[in-house]
Amino acid sequence: MLTGEQYKQSLLDGRNVYFEGRRVENQAEEPAHVAPLEAVAAGYDKYYSADEDAVNPMLTAPRSPEELRDRIPSLMELDLALNVTYQSLMTLIVARNRLTVDSGEFGQRITNYVAQAHRRDIRVVECITDAKGNRSLAPSAQDDPDAYVRVVDRTPEGVVIRGAKLHISAASLAHDMLVMPTKRMKPGEEQYSIACAVPVNAPGVKIVNTTFDPAHRERRDYPISSRLSMPDSFVILEDVFVPHERVFLDGQADQAAVFAHSLGLWERLGGTSFMVQQADELVGLAVLIAEANGLQKVAHVREKIDEMMIHATTLRAGLEAALLHAHATSDGYYYPDELYTNATKYQGATRFNEMVRHLHDIAGGSVLTAPSMADFDNPETGKAVEKYMSTSSSISGEYRARLFHAIRDLTADAFGGWHAVTNLQSGGGLYAQRLVTRKHYDVARAKAYAMDVAGISEADR
């Protein structure tokens, strides 16, 4: 296993990382990358063991529904790079059991790769969303055939791929990228049916980063994003060679969706787990700011908080159901139920903005206009800011300002915008969750109940 310092050194491998038009030679020297880099390094130190055979315990697959359930609180504490590594490796494990390719070679490659990833203690990010070009056209019908990642050459040693993958969190801070088809492919789209593991520093890989990190701002005004920022990456693949042992699907169009469906399951479980915690955070902030504003007993404020509580409880119930009804792979690994996972993720995403609206309505305009924490330090403004931000002898101005900054940072600034979009789009977006729910919902049971309550039978058709 690697220590945090060894991890930092491992990133100095010649990778091509860009940020705001500049090449970043060392991410430890880029202010906007320092906080996420340190967070990932801290994750390495937290789980480090000097035992020669040790592997990160958070990257092992659950062997029972109880183990799957007990893993959730720990997953919520992981840095994002370790979390997506867990999702990536679990995706491979589930996909291995779902592939129906005649040859077992792909399955063996997956087994070998997962074991190798454990031994090397690397971070792996999932790369699924393509540039897509004209969304109304299939991959093979695009003006530019590179709109979807594709194989452009095959050699006796491996394949050469070209294209781009978008919205890849933590790519520049990882070691490998799990590249997979973004959706089901059709006959004639075999070149797009490619799944493989690509080293971040492979020749031809370029990573263009964006971030919501408040690098040049007063970090006390950003109590959440300054700790939890993580770069999102635009990954460019310019004729990247991938050896056969890292290729997990190549040309089997009818199997292309296996990886996306497997990833969607784990990504939506992670998203649902986060939404459950986030919903409770929003309730807590609503209660605290209502108390700080002296509005905790006002009827419409209490009603909004009640509704937020019901939403949070509904999401938690859905998560519990997904874990309670977990399923096993053929080799004894457990994964959450797809129906409950997708339905809960959909519910959380569609109502998130409504819950945020309640919080903003309760909090008021100071969510956007509260003075900076630095203004409390300034002897020329500090006393007055403290006086007028205070609401009583028991609620200090600084305390109330810190609440406003937390609410703004979480829900009304760059980090809040990031959440508003990712809550909708992560795990394939709302449409994908509707499709999976439709696939797994017991329609026959619903129709039987309906016919029974209507007093009719099949004979009456």
pLDDT in tens, 131-145: 999 999 999 999 999
Phi, psi of 212 (to 5 degrees): -105, 10
- Examine the fold and report which residue of 229, 253, 277 is the final residue of a domain before the chain moves on: 253
- pLDDT tens across 53-99, in order? 899 998 888 888 888 888 888 888 889 999 999 989 999 998 998 88
Structural domain contains residue 76 = yes
The domain that contains 193 carries what CATH number? Answer: 2.40.110.10
Residue 101 has pLDDT above 80, yes or no: no
Same domain, 155 and 216: yes
pLDDT of res. 103: 60
Question: Would you state the pLDDT for residue 276?
Answer: 92
Among 253, 273, 307, give the residue marking a domain's end.
253
Write the burial class of residue 27 (CB in 10 Å: 0-12 exposed, 13-18 middle, 19+ buried).
Answer: buried
Of the candidates 193, 179, 204, which has an alpha carbon nearest to the alpha carbon of residue 140? 193
State the average pLDDT over residues 99-121. Answer: 89
Determine which helix (DSSP H) or strand (DSSP E) holds 310, and give its type and residue range.
helix 299-324
- Can you tell me which residue has the tokens 């991959």? 139
Query: Model pTM?
Result: 0.87
Task: Tell me the residue type at 406.
Answer: A
Same domain, 432 and 304: yes
Q: Per the domain annotation, does 393 fall within a domain?
A: no
Please compute the mean of the pLDDT values over residues 92-114 and round it to a whole number.
87
Domain count along the chain: 2
Model confidence over 375-417: pLDDT tens digits? 999 999 999 999 999 999 999 999 999 999 999 999 999 999 9
Do 351 and 441 lie in a common domain? yes
- Quote the pLDDT of residue 374: 97
In a domain, 316, yes or no: yes
CA pair distance 261, 258, nearest whole angstrom: 5
| Same-domain pairing of 120 and 177 | yes
> In this structure, are 105 and 184 located in the same domain?
yes
State which of 253, 279, 298 marks the end of a domain: 253
Q: Are 276 and 210 in a shared domain?
A: no
What are the helix and strand counts (H, E) for the chain? 16, 12
Q: What is the pLDDT of residues 263-309, one digit of tens each?
A: 877 777 787 888 899 999 999 999 999 999 999 999 999 999 999 99
Distance between CA atoms of 213 and 328, rounded to whole angstroms? Answer: 39
Which whole number is the average pLDDT over 166-186? 95
Q: Establish if 402 belongs to a structural domain.
A: no
**Domain of 286, in residue numbers:** 258-363+413-448
The whole-angstrom separation of Cα 138 and Cα 147 is: 10
Are residues 246 and 127 part of one domain? yes
Residue 102 has pLDDT above 70, yes or no: no
Does residue 104 have a pLDDT over 80? no
